[in-house]
Amino acid sequence: MFLIPWVIFILIIAVLVTSIFEFIKGKKLHVQFEMRDSRFSSELFMTLLVIYIIVIIGFGLIYFILSFQGIILVEYGELRQTSIIGSIIHSIYFSGVTLLTIGYGDITPIGIGRLIAVLEALIGYVLPTAFVMKLFQTRERGRDK
């Protein structure tokens, strides 16, 4: 019973990291849009938005799944029991605040949740860099043609 959340956690992390590396390499993702030209476009913005949403929901699900093993997120320094819907909302909210590096401090991870939050914040820093690199790669390919 304890093994199932870890397997799901590892699979979600593997898919997220693989998707980001494949995007940087220039391979097509299932959610990737083709860019029309080398300047900033609505397709690039929509791709960034979709990937951010996928990562937020993915990590939110990780926090939610791990909450079945114990309380991973603490609200205002107190351990609170919430309903399943409340737990999903708290998990996705915390995921968004962490990925976007806002860090209000109203919900705090404990235990293994801290390591997961650091990993998510790192992805939040790397994603914009990956998109800027992709923009310049596309621009360079346009110049070579």
In this prediction, what percent of the chain has a pLDDT beyond 70? 72
| Residue 78 confidence class, pLDDT cut points 50, 70, 90 | confident
Alpha-carbon span 38 to 31, nearest angstrom: 19
Alpha-carbon span 9 to 30, nearest angstrom: 21
Ranking 54-58, 68-72, 129-133 by mean pLDDT, the lowest is 68-72
| Residue 73 confidence class, pLDDT cut points 50, 70, 90 | confident
Alpha-carbon span 80 to 15, nearest angstrom: 31
What domains does the chain contain, in order, with CATH numbers?
45-132 (1.10.287.70)
Residue 24's pLDDT is: 63
